Structure 1
Amino acid sequence: MSLIDFDKISGIAKNAGSVIMDIYNRDVEVEFKSDRSPLTEADKKSNEVIIQSLESFYPNIPIISEENSEISYSERSSWSEFWLIDPLDGTKEFIKKNGEFTVNIALIRDGYPVLGVVYLPVDEILYCAEKGSGAFKEDRSGNLSKISNGVHYDELEHIKIVASRSHITDEVKEFVEGLKNEGKEVEMISVGSSLKLCLVAEGSANIYPRFGPTMEWDTGAAQAVVMESGREVLNYETNELLNYNKKSLLNPWFVVE
Structure 2
Amino acid sequence: MTELDKPAVLDRIAVLARDAGRIILPYYDGDPVVGSKYDGSPVTAADQAAEALIVPVLRALTPDIPVVAEEAVAAGQIPDVSGGRFWLVDPLDGTKEFIQKRGDFTVNIGLVENGAPVLGVVHTPVDGMLWAGSVGDGAWEEDADGNRRAISVRKADPAALTVVASKSHRNPELEAYIATLPVRESVSRGSALKFCLVARGEADVYPRTGPTMEWDTAAGHALLLAAGGTLTAFDGTPFLYSKPDFRNGFFIARGG
Name the TM-score class by shorter chain: over 0.9
Match of 1:254 in 2: 251
| Partner in structure 2 of residue 81 of structure 1 | 85
- Could you tell me which residue of structure 2 aligns to residue 53 of structure 1? 57
Does residue 141 (structure 1) correspond to residue 139 (structure 2)? The answer is no
Equivalent residue, structure 2, for 1:221: 219
State how far apart, in whole Å, the 2-side matches of 1:31 and 1:17 are: 20
Pairing partner for 1:170 from 166, 169, 172: 172
Counterpart CA distance in 2 for 1:186 and 1:249 is 34
**1:129 aligned onto 2:129:** no
Q: Which residue number corresponds to residue 193 of structure 1?
A: 191
SS in 1 for 2:196: helix
Normalised by the length of structure 2, the TM-score is 0.92
Aligned to 2:34: 30
The structural deviation recorded for 1:164 is: 0.6
Deviation at 1:221, TM superposition (A): 0.4
The whole-number CA distance in structure 2 between the counterparts of 1:210 and 1:61 is: 29
Q: Deviations over 1:167-215 (max 9, x none)?
A: 0110111112212xxxx24321111001011111111111111011100
Offset at 1:241? 2.8
Q: 1:64 aligns with which of 68, 72, 75?
A: 68
Contact 1:128–1:136 under 8 Å retained in 2:
yes
In structure 2, what is the Cα distance between the partners aligned to 1:190 and 1:158?
A: 17
2:47 pairs with 1:43:
yes
1:187 alignment partner, SS class: strand
Q: Deviations over 1:39-92 (max 9, x none)?
A: 00000000000001112222221010111223568x33x222111110000000
Q: CA 1:72–1:52 in 2, change beyond 3 Å: closer, same or farther?
A: closer
Counterpart selection for 1:16 from 3, 14, 20: 20
Q: TM-score, normalised by structure 1?
A: 0.92
Q: Which amino acid aligns with 1:159?
A: L
Q: Any idea what SS the aligned residue of 1:220 has?
A: helix
In 2, the alpha carbon distance for the partners of 1:41 and 1:214 equals 21
Please name the residue that 1:244 is paired with: 241
2-side partners of 1:200 and 1:6: how far apart?
20
**Partner Cα distance (1:212, 1:58) in 2:** 33
Contact 1:108 1:244 in 2 (8 A): yes
Identity of matched residues, %: 42
Q: Any unmatched runs of 5+ in structure 1?
A: none
In structure 2, the residue matched to 1:161 is 163
Task: Give the number of aligned pairs.
Answer: 248
1:207 aligns with 2:205: yes
**Deviation of residue 2 (structure 1)?**
4.7
Q: Does 1:7 align with 2:11?
A: yes
Alpha carbons 1:91, 1:101 under 8 Å: kept: yes
Maintained 8 Å contact 1:176/1:186: no
SS in 1 for 2:178: helix
